[in-house]
Structure 1
Amino acid sequence: MKFLRRCATAVITAAVMSQPVLANRTPADYVDPFIGTSNFGATHPGAQVPHGLASVSPFNVAFGYPQLNEFEKDEAWNSRVYIHENQFFTGFSHLNLSGVGCPEAGVINLMPTSGDLSLAPEEYGSTFSDQQASAGLYNAHIDKYDIDAEVTSTARAGISRFRFSPGRNHIVLNLGLALTNETGASIRQTSPTEFVGSRTLGTFCYNPEDVRPVYFVMQLSDAPDQAGVWKQMPAYKNVEADWVAVNDDVKTYPDYPYPLHGDNIGAWASYNADSAHTVSVKIGISFVSIANARKNLEQEIPAFDFNSTRRQAKQAWNDVLQRVQVEGQAADKTRFYTALYHTLIHPSIFSDINGDYPITGGGATGNASVPRYTVYSLWDTSRNVHPLLSLLYPRTQSAMMRSAIAMGRESGWLPKWELYGMETNVMVGDPGTVMMADSYLRGIQDVDIDAAYKMMVRAATQADNNLLRPDAADYLSLGYVPYDDEGPYDGSVSTSLEYYQADFALSRLAAKLDKPDDAARFANQAQEFTRLFDPATGMLRPKNRKGEWLSPFDPELGKNFEPAPGYIEGNAWNYRFYVPHGMQTLIEKLGGPAAFEAQLDKTFATDNFDMANEPDITYPYLYLYTPGGFNKASNKVAALRDHHFTTEPGGIPGNDDTGTMSAWLAFSMMGIYPLSPGEPSYAMVSPAFDRITISLDDTYYPGETLTIRRDTEASRITFNGRPVTGAFIAHQQLIQGGTLVIPAADTQE
């Protein structure tokens, strides 16, 4: 899911922070969290663990600093707590999203300072330098105060360590400063070294959906000389005299024993030191209660042992990243393992250490014996992130499927774009059906598929009051969604194509579950995409309820993410081949393979391919449908890999979309790609590495390891020594284990 103004790939001048040279580098040592922190990638370099709820990230997008910050909060749909070009640092946030296209979270900001106490971020903010980031660790020097800061985290908590110079030093907690557009917080000092409270979140993508608090407990390693809570005093307005008296004063409440509520509030702790000293701060979070935040903190970071926590974080990353071993150039390993790292951030753990979690859409609390997850950006991730998790981490994908089914039991619907227990309904289509069906068909079947299937059928058949498919009535009666009533970002063609894809996946699942009537019905619905094919233009073109084509029709309208009737976040070219389940039919309608190849060429030649846009990211693989297309597909994929994905901060081509762009890179570097969710197979191109070895999970898959080799001497694709017909291979074949040999592409076309 993108912000609606996409920029072109930026020219990045700042170099990536250098990684230490190690004799025996582990996969985690190749991760560079600065990749994606520029060019609207929307990742952050903060410390986190795989699928962790908490993360501790530098925050440098506060308002009002154009001399130091190139981008500010809410500028160009800014959805980033950290931007590599920005220089004005105002603290570390403890709940953050990665690669998301709208501002949210970025809360519970912690800032170390020195000298006179200031509680206004525009005053206490500072430039920062000597930044370093690796898997599970971030550190930097805060220039204004000569403070060295380093942070690490666990699944539900973070710990910061600040090295102060002699003098008067402070730790400031700011609950007003945030990325979210919601306001409101509470705080209470419970002891000289502990503060507790909450911060409100919500209004994701500027939509007025539910809001909810995140709770926290903050503990200090050393008792301060003075501490308390604070609030910024409000402005006063005399309506009759039509004047406003602005009071910018901040009022402090030392050792205040009562809860304090407001928008711009926080806490502070001050130390007087004759020598250099170190203070550590632990913060645990929970979406259930302060008591649960305390339990999370006490069990995950029981002591102020920064080094042990950091080692555990790195080990957690190595445990998952070493599932795939690659042989090749160091820079390629950095690209690959950083991409894999970014795909393992979301969905995130939502349940507390005791299993508690807030149920979807309500105020009650549930409890689960398996982790409950959140942050389901399924319009994006159903295409490749969840297929990647299904192949490499089926145990995790199973837990995510169970979470989605539980959400369905609580709300009546599978998730669409679920965030922190709230269904935001952002984007179009029915991607929960796609994710669930595809994962089950890949062999992850230890879930209540009967319950899931009923929810999927409801979404596909209920004409009225359909929360997942709001255009279901027209779609079911006409075979497509007309453009008559669409808003600027509804996208009637886009919505129709997503429904077709969901119906195809559902038909395949119905067949697997021995429901032939349903399988036929949904398969027929999936083929209705031909109703939108316009022979005159060769495009999938908007129609109204009368069956008339939209006119005038400009296939390039929407190229710069401006509103375009029929399409969301793109134009007709971006969606021209977006029927992955019906490619043979589309190829025939375009005049056969040669004509199809010519139109595919034209898409790239006219700059109507967008590497940062989900509907068309499969297009370089579509050359595999043409005679002799292996070399062309391989070379096109390699060119896109190397041009758009680099080791620079701008090394992701725009918004990472909770790992979707990174999943494209990870798959593409391995030489396999899932073209059509619901059809568990992979398109194959020449890999970026000489050898890739995947350790398969024997709980789900019969094979022990899958090896993919790039062979410069091979003339055809083979699996376990036997030739593979064509350039596609079934998932069920690969998970038997063995060796897949893919030729190196002939670059002399």
Structure 2
Amino acid sequence: MVILKPIIGILLLQYTRGTVATQDDLHYVNPLIGSTNGGNVFAGASLPYGMAKPVADVDGQNTGGFSTDGSNVTGFSHMHDSGTGGNPSMGNFPLFPQYCKDNLVDNCKFPKAARAIHYKNDSVVATPGYFALTLENGIKAEMTAAQHTALYRFVFPGGKAADGNELYPLISLDLTDLWDSRQNASISLDSDHGRMKGNGTFLPSFGAGSYQSYFCADFVGADVQGSGIWVNDRAGSVHELFVTRGFNNFYLQAGGYMTFIPSEDQTVTVRVGVSFISTDQACKNAEAEIPNPDDAFDTLKDQAETAWSNKLRPVEVTSGGVSDDMLSAFWSGIYRTMLSPQNMTGENPLWKSDEPYFDSFYCLWDAFRSQHPFLTIIDTHAQSEMVRSLLDTFKHEGWLPDCRMSLCKGWTQGGSNADVVLADAYVKNLTGIDWELAYKAMVNDAENEPLEWSYEGRGGLQSWKHLHYIPYLDFDYIGFGTNSRSISRTVEYAYNDYSLSVVAKGLGKDYSTYLARSGNWQNLYKDDQKSLLQNGTDTGFTGFFQPKYINGTWGHQDPIACSALASWCSLTSNPSETFESSIWEYQFFVPHDMAKLIKMVGGPEAFVARLDYFHTSGLADMGNEPVFLTVYDYHYAGRPALSASRAHAYIPSSFNATNSGLPGNDDSGAMGSFLAWSMMGLFPNPGQNVYLMIPPFFEAIAVTHPDTNKTATIRNVNFDKTFKKIYIQNATLNGVPYTKNWIGHEFFTQGMTLELTLGDRESAWGTRKEDLPPSLSDSVNINEI
């Protein structure tokens, strides 16, 4: 009995919490999910929010460094971003191991294209904090990471030169980055101590300006046989080099190398400290984080695994028998939400501050919708620090960033969506944030137009304030930016101003102006606009957003343009009045007043018909973030069961555990967080205290709030692992009947328990007017539902 009592107590505790934690959830994480088919994920080794991110770089889909697309390895570099579009990000100073035929250094292949070699497909191993593969020539590369330091272990297969002597392993370092943006760089070698140091000036992958990066590489485990620098395809025993970009399109390739006397285990370990401050700082980072690199690899790998396990700990799953693939997709989605932004506190050379500094907000236009709300429930401390970092950037640079990477300002894709991140943090009571400063920063976005609004703030504010929309071909002489996206900017500015009104009201400020501006989206709604398919077939729907000139007359953009049925529209490729999405998709983006939108399109039945057509006709692009909320917009029309059905239509067909298991660019974890939220059975309307409810994809899910230590639980009754029963029949909250189809953030902070009884048909649960999520307008006629 003495032995059984604690066991019984544990079982009772688990039953009370409604879930039993999987013993080792970390083993479900697969960093290779999304490593091809445009997912652009970072598949290498990293700590949560780590700056050092070593992985193999390839010459194919290399936006995140590595891809399982069958392309060739060109090097192993130490910093990357995850889920980015545009040009590849960072990948500075790659290492490359090889043998030189007959031990003649000039027989080695130094330029990137010449040295590229395929990897053995079945050799790739990727786990949280670890990455390894074997090149076709037999050289094995393993890597793990500390916060600012990458640690590599290269194992050479051994070989003989023509004279019978053993081949000397050679490792080169290339003064370049993934997209060859280097403007200038330098390197120095100390062969007596096996050290290379250097720096370079590079361009950000999706922004303006340039940044400087520094490295300090120490080679241990084998004695140095020789060293020098290389330029293009020749090398020599010179130990310092400064290189510029080269003339016109001729990109000068250059770097350093070291050769080694083969050790007994044929292994060379390389510790690479990185910094944005100086080479000395890079060396200090490496020495502090990995003081004994020769025997630190396995310990460092274990420490990384522990760090990731701790980050996943707030979430517990009772699977109910769902497949390991479903569990892998879920946990991997959560994992990717914490790869970026990167914690670069202490590594910001632009200003001095005691506040945290995070970089790689890539971009908030993507991440505000689900990633940052997700961190708000599982890693409140990190999310609070990110908000403080955004505010500190405003304090020192004058504007909240909408996108930021490599210490540079990134291109603004739509509105000033840091405003939504701040509002979301405010309504969910994140602590440690200066809300007066936040209010000042948000007002700055709403009232002041910067000279260059391509990478900060908003453009067209004169028109916004006086015409109450962003015009097509706006006359804007105050600031300069890409004069397009008039429709998408209008609907985003409206929600940005709503976000400001929420914070202003909470702080006791005058919020009426911004609340009024939040209705400006209506001024671009053309109630007689029809939509035809490319073959001329009428879609059967009337009333869409349309561009409008300064004089109030209508312009025209085909509602299906920029959709998955038409052509891609971005800032530079086919710039249009909607950004990366169609009018069809943007018509559903009125997060604060869905009731009014539903009334404008003809009521709930007509709205549901539109949503159904959008999702079944090919117009919906699940590979881009504006589509996320449309999956759950059925809730606002009193049809939450259809949101559940729609989520299951995309999971696992578009989101799954394969290497191509993402429908598009992960965008710093936005896709991962959409998947995680959906499988948990809740989805945020960011900037509001609203989570839309569907049944979780598991028997039960629990989240322990990091601040209150209270555990929120959702438990499915009649759970069916084949997902035939996906409709809520009735619900209880803490044992009391609950009919609303949404719930607030207090569910997490107070540790409530939702119990959902499921069936295989749509029920009346969550369909009444009083059950619908809040809207600014109370204009849905319940008799139409």
- TM-score bin (small chain): 0.7 to 0.9
Name the CA distance, whole Å, in 2 between partners of 1:673 and 1:748.
19
Deviation at 1:578, TM superposition (A): 0.8
Describe the superposition over 1:603-633 as per-residue Cα deviations: whole angstroms up to 9, x where unpaired: 1232111111222211121111223x12211
Deviation at 1:261, TM superposition (A): 3.1
1:325-344 alignment, distance < 5 Å: 325-328=316-319, 329=322, 330-344=324-338
With over 3 angstroms needed to count, the CA separation of the structure-2 counterparts of 1:736 and 1:653, relative to structure 1, is same
Name the CA distance, whole Å, in 2 between partners of 1:558 and 1:507.
31
Deviation at 1:131, TM superposition (A): 0.8
- Look up the match of 2:300: 309
Describe the superposition over 1:145-171 as per-residue Cα deviations: whole angstroms up to 9, x where unpaired: x22211011111110001123332111
- Look up the match of 1:687: 696
Describe the superposition over 1:563-613 as per-residue Cα deviations: whole angstroms up to 9, x where unpaired: 363111111111111111110000011111111111111112321111112
With over 3 angstroms needed to count, the CA separation of the structure-2 counterparts of 1:460 and 1:253, relative to structure 1, is same
Deviation at 1:126, TM superposition (A): 1.9
With over 3 angstroms needed to count, the CA separation of the structure-2 counterparts of 1:307 and 1:595, relative to structure 1, is same
1:360-379 alignment, distance < 5 Å: 365-368=351-354, 370=356, 372-379=358-365
- Look up the match of 2:545: 540
Deviation at 1:673, TM superposition (A): 0.5
- Look up the match of 2:178: 178
Which of the pair has more CA radius of gyration?
2
- Look up the match of 2:554: 549
Q: Which amino acid aligns with 1:741?
A: E
Deviation at 1:59, TM superposition (A): 0.6
- Look up the match of 1:288: 277
Q: Does 1:453 align with 2:431?
A: no
CA contact (8 A) 1:107 1:180 kept: no
Q: Which amino acid aligns with 1:580?
A: P
With over 3 angstroms needed to count, the CA separation of the structure-2 counterparts of 1:186 and 1:463, relative to structure 1, is closer
CA contact (8 A) 1:564 1:571 kept: no
With over 3 angstroms needed to count, the CA separation of the structure-2 counterparts of 1:489 and 1:45, relative to structure 1, is farther
Deviation at 1:296, TM superposition (A): 1.1
Q: Which amino acid aligns with 1:546?
A: N
Name the CA distance, whole Å, in 2 between partners of 1:272 and 1:221.
11
Name the CA distance, whole Å, in 1 between partners of 2:177 and 2:348.
26
Deviation at 1:211, TM superposition (A): 0.4
With over 3 angstroms needed to count, the CA separation of the structure-2 counterparts of 1:261 and 1:98, relative to structure 1, is same
Identity of aligned residues (%): 29
Q: Does 1:595 align with 2:595?
A: no
Name the CA distance, whole Å, in 2 between partners of 1:157 and 1:672.
37
Q: Does 1:322 align with 2:313?
A: yes
Name the CA distance, whole Å, in 2 between partners of 1:99 and 1:745.
37
Deviation at 1:259, TM superposition (A): 4.8
Name the CA distance, whole Å, in 1 between partners of 2:223 and 2:243.
23
The match for 2:93 among 108, 122, 143 is: 108
CA contact (8 A) 1:106 1:180 kept: no
Name the CA distance, whole Å, in 1 between partners of 2:753 and 2:300.
38
Which deviates the most, 421-430 or 400-409?
421-430
- Look up the match of 2:374: 388
The match for 1:522 among 514, 523, 529 is: 514
Q: Which amino acid aligns with 2:692?
A: A
The match for 1:558 among 562, 566, 569 is: 562
SS, match of residue 317 in structure 1: helix
Deviation at 1:26, TM superposition (A): 1.6
- Look up the match of 2:140: 148
SS, match of residue 391 in structure 1: helix
Name the CA distance, whole Å, in 2 between partners of 1:529 and 1:125.
51
Name the CA distance, whole Å, in 2 between partners of 1:348 and 1:669.
26
- Look up the match of 1:14: none
The match for 1:350 among 337, 341, 344 is: 344
Name the CA distance, whole Å, in 1 between partners of 2:281 and 2:187.
16
Deviation at 1:686, TM superposition (A): 1.3
- Look up the match of 1:484: 473
SS, match of residue 352 in structure 2: strand
SS, match of residue 358 in structure 1: coil
Q: Which amino acid aligns with 2:544?
A: M
1:391-410 alignment, distance < 5 Å: 391-410=377-396
Which deviates the most, 462-471 or 82-91?
462-471
Q: Does 1:725 align with 2:725?
A: no
SS, match of residue 518 in structure 2: helix
Count of paired positions = 677
Deviation at 1:420, TM superposition (A): 2.2
CA contact (8 A) 1:36 1:42 kept: yes
Deviation at 1:179, TM superposition (A): 2.9
Q: Which amino acid aligns with 1:658?
A: S
Q: Does 1:696 align with 2:705?
A: yes
Q: Does 1:137 align with 2:134?
A: no
Deviation at 1:418, TM superposition (A): 1.3
CA contact (8 A) 1:51 1:349 kept: yes
With over 3 angstroms needed to count, the CA separation of the structure-2 counterparts of 1:476 and 1:202, relative to structure 1, is same
Name the CA distance, whole Å, in 1 between partners of 2:169 and 2:432.
54
Deviation at 1:438, TM superposition (A): 1.2
With over 3 angstroms needed to count, the CA separation of the structure-2 counterparts of 1:24 and 1:572, relative to structure 1, is closer
Name the CA distance, whole Å, in 2 between partners of 1:252 and 1:545.
65
What runs of 5+ residues in structure 2 fail to find an aligned partner? 1-20, 159-166, 246-252, 476-480, 530-542, 720-727, 764-785
Describe the superposition over 1:46-80 as per-residue Cα deviations: whole angstroms up to 9, x where unpaired: 1111100110111111xxxxxxxxx46xxxxx634
- Look up the match of 1:45: 43
Deviation at 1:203, TM superposition (A): 4.4
Deviation at 1:459, TM superposition (A): 1.2
Name the CA distance, whole Å, in 2 between partners of 1:25 and 1:110.
37
Q: Does 1:581 align with 2:592?
A: yes
Q: Which amino acid aligns with 1:109?
A: P
Name the CA distance, whole Å, in 2 between partners of 1:692 and 1:734.
12
Deviation at 1:744, TM superposition (A): 3.2
Name the CA distance, whole Å, in 2 between partners of 1:656 and 1:374.
14
With over 3 angstroms needed to count, the CA separation of the structure-2 counterparts of 1:47 and 1:489, relative to structure 1, is farther
- Look up the match of 2:665: 655
- Look up the match of 1:243: none
What runs of 5+ residues in structure 1 fail to find an aligned partner? 1-22, 62-70, 73-77, 234-248, 360-364
- Look up the match of 1:219: 218
CA contact (8 A) 2:29 2:127 kept: yes
Q: Which amino acid aligns with 1:556?
A: I
Which deviates the most, 720-729 or 583-592?
720-729
SS, match of residue 38 in structure 1: coil
Q: Does 1:735 align with 2:744?
A: no
Name the CA distance, whole Å, in 1 between partners of 2:265 and 2:381.
47
Q: Does 1:707 align with 2:743?
A: no
CA contact (8 A) 2:691 2:743 kept: yes
Deviation at 1:302, TM superposition (A): 1.4
Name the CA distance, whole Å, in 2 between partners of 1:558 and 1:512.
38
With over 3 angstroms needed to count, the CA separation of the structure-2 counterparts of 1:92 and 1:489, relative to structure 1, is farther
CA contact (8 A) 1:188 1:260 kept: no
Which deviates the most, 532-541 or 665-674?
532-541
Name the CA distance, whole Å, in 1 between partners of 2:575 and 2:700.
44
Q: Which amino acid aligns with 1:412?
A: G
With over 3 angstroms needed to count, the CA separation of the structure-2 counterparts of 1:153 and 1:356, relative to structure 1, is closer
Deviation at 1:489, TM superposition (A): 7.6
Name the CA distance, whole Å, in 1 between partners of 2:100 and 2:141.
17
With over 3 angstroms needed to count, the CA separation of the structure-2 counterparts of 1:39 and 1:356, relative to structure 1, is closer
- Look up the match of 1:236: none
CA contact (8 A) 2:204 2:211 kept: no
Deviation at 1:133, TM superposition (A): 0.7
Name the CA distance, whole Å, in 2 between partners of 1:366 and 1:499.
32
Describe the superposition over 1:468-498 as per-residue Cα deviations: whole angstroms up to 9, x where unpaired: 0022121111111011149878311111111
Name the CA distance, whole Å, in 2 between partners of 1:564 and 1:377.
18
Describe the superposition over 1:274-293 as per-residue Cα deviations: whole angstroms up to 9, x where unpaired: 75421100001111111211
Deviation at 1:445, TM superposition (A): 3.1
Q: Does 1:568 align with 2:582?
A: no
With over 3 angstroms needed to count, the CA separation of the structure-2 counterparts of 1:604 and 1:449, relative to structure 1, is same
- Look up the match of 1:620: 631
TM-score when normalising by structure 2: 0.83
Name the CA distance, whole Å, in 2 between partners of 1:29 and 1:464.
48
Name the CA distance, whole Å, in 2 between partners of 1:202 and 1:225.
33
1:81-120 alignment, distance < 5 Å: 81-103=65-87, 104-116=89-101, 117=105, 118=108, 119-120=110-111
Deviation at 1:653, TM superposition (A): 0.7
